[in-house]
Amino acid sequence: MFAFLRTLFFACFALVSLQLQAALVPASPQLAATAYLAMDAVTGDILVESGADGRFAPASLTKMMTSYIVEHEMAEGNVAETDLVPISVKAWKTPGSRMFVREGTQVLLGDLLRGVIIQSGNDASVALAEYIAGSEEAFANLMNQHARRLGLKNTNFQNATGLPAENHYSSPRDLALIARALIQDFPDQYAIYAEKYFTYNDIKQPNRNRLLWRDSTVDGVKTGHTDEAGYCLVASALRDDMRVISVVLGTTSDEARAAESQKLLSYAFRFFRTFPLYKAGESLNTAEIWKGSSETVGLGLAQDLAVTIPRGKEDQLAAVLDLPNLIEAPLAQGEQVGSLKVSLAGEILREVPLVSLQPVAEADFITKIWHSIVLFFKGLFE
């Protein structure tokens, strides 16, 4: 009997130890970089950060917004990949990394977009900016309008290339949000960011993102370098249905930005997991409704809900519906009726609106009077 109890004790102890180990998350890695961040692309949750809201020179990471606007204009039907874009003297003479377009020629918009994304061409960036907005200055204004629309709080653009300019800056958090928008808003175009080479004018140039060769799960996004900014990289990887965006600014070399980015990605995937919780339109509750053409109404979410949490802590997740004591018609479809709160170990992670999944019209006059009487007496007894 004693041997059995001893065996049972050690078995229980081992199980508890495994559970504790599963819930342990080590301190985030310290990178040899000026600032950095790792974000879950689906939830927007920040997994690692250092200087996430600082304002730094973004160098060619600026071109993420340039390509975002081009893709936005394509989606709106204002431009197309087959458009022939004239190359101005200014575009042709723009210094720095180049696609090697020639002044006075016309180049397919789709080729210029690849020149921006893969070759980081400053000449291609200026040509696209002029084609879409008339001038690079007007295009920079458009970039800042999109920045505000995307909720960027520490970003201001002065040009389409990222060449050094006064008052031209962004932050790791904002750069991650631009990358997230590229991935979510234009998934068909996002495949370009994983292309390793692009040849134009008989010149074959490689994508400067070294991680595309080292890690098969990495499929973007953009590199950058100036003397002021250092070597920078925004990377994104998809593993087991979880996508992570990493931002590394101010490293000392091309090799360093790749290595430090790999550290961030490895840490995020190893110690965090994204959990899809509820689908948009899924019925989470059927509530009683008064003075309506229906006696009940289905309640759910207007958008999918997921959370990213440390691995091993999913059993500490809890969801609570916060509903009003009384729900009365009329209700429009999508109208908020309370909220859903998701917590981890008692700490609120998300609070999102709970909405009506169908419209409920007002009841006829007699039913409304009857419900008013019932509610009156119900209130007296309660």
pLDDT digits (tens, 9 = 90+) for 141-165: 999 999 999 999 999 999 999 999 9
**Predicted local confidence at residue 19, as pLDDT:** 45
Confidence at residue 14, expressed as pLDDT on a 0 to 100 scale: 39
- Least confident among 254-268, 277-291, 362-376: 362-376
Tokens (6 digits) for 145: 């309008």
The distance in angstroms from the start CA to the end CA of the chain is 57
SS3 12: helix
- Nearest Cα to Cα of residue 119 among 186, 44, 199: 199
Percent of the chain clearing pLDDT 70 (strictly above): 93
Which H or E element spans position 37? strand 35-40
Q: Is 63 a catalytic residue?
A: yes
- pLDDT of 367 reads 77
Out of 2.60.410.10, 2.40.110.10, 3.30.230.20, 3.40.640.10, the CATH code matching 279-381 is 2.60.410.10
Distance of alpha carbon 90 from alpha carbon 104, whole angstroms? 11
Residues 231, 271, 244, 153: is their CA dihedral positive or negative?
negative
pLDDT digits (tens, 9 = 90+) for 77-97: 999 999 999 999 999 999 999
pLDDT band at 23 (very low <50, low <70, confident <90, very high): low
Q: Quick check: 317 and 342 in contact, CB under 8 A?
A: yes
Q: Over pLDDT 90: what percentage of the chain?
A: 85
pLDDT single digits (tens) 345-354: 999 999 999 9
> Would residue 60 show up in a list of annotated catalytic residues for this protein?
yes
pLDDT tens for 88-146 read: 999 999 999 999 999 999 999 999 999 999 999 999 999 999 999 999 999 999 999 99
pLDDT for 382 equals 66
pLDDT value of position 25: 77
Of 280, 374, 259, 273, the residue nearest 334 (C-alpha): 280
Q: Give the Cβ contact number of residue 51 at 10 Å.
A: 17
Q: In this structure, which amino acid lies at residue 24?
A: L
Burial of 328: CB neighbours in 10 Å, binned 0-12, 13-18, 19+: middle
Q: What is the mean pLDDT of the chain?
A: 92
Q: CATH fold of 29-272, please? A: Beta-lactamase (3.40.710)
> What are the domain boundaries of the chain?
29-272, 279-381
State the catalytic residue, choosing from 67, 120, 236, 261.
120
Query: Is 264 within 8 Å of 248 (Cβ atoms)?
Result: yes
Rounded Cα distance, 241 and 209, in Å:
22
pLDDT reported for residue 369 = 81
Tokens read off for 269: 């995937």
Alpha carbons 270 and 287: distance in angstroms, whole number: 41
Residue with tokens 């559970």: 19
Give the pTM.
0.88
| pLDDT greater than 70 at residue 10 | no
What mean pLDDT is predicted for residues 290-310? Answer: 94
Confidence band, pLDDT 50/70/90 cuts, at residue 18: very low
Q: What is the largest CA-CA distance in the chain?
A: 93
Residue of 63, 222, 263, 291 marked catalytic: 63
The secondary element (H helix, E strand) that includes residue 75 is helix 63-75
CA atoms 127, 131, 136, 142: torsion sign: negative
343 as an active site residue: the answer is no
**Mean pLDDT confidence for 279-308:** 94
Q: Which two tokens stand for residue 44?
A: 């927007």
Read off the amino acid at residue 174: D
Q: E strands, 83-212, where?
A: 84-86, 106-108, 197-200, 203-206
d(CA 109, CA 128) in angstroms, rounded, equals 7
Q: Is the pLDDT confidence value at 16 over 60?
A: no
**The CA-based dihedral angle spanning residues 234, 208, 35, 27, taken in that order and rounded to the nearest 10 degrees:** 70
For 23, 217, 239, the CA distances from 269, given in Å and listed in that order, are: 15, 11, 8
Pairwise CA distance, residues 189 & 169, whole Å: 26
The catalytic position among 60, 67, 125, 170 is 60
> Which tokens go with 230?
């250092």
Model confidence at 170: pLDDT above 60: yes
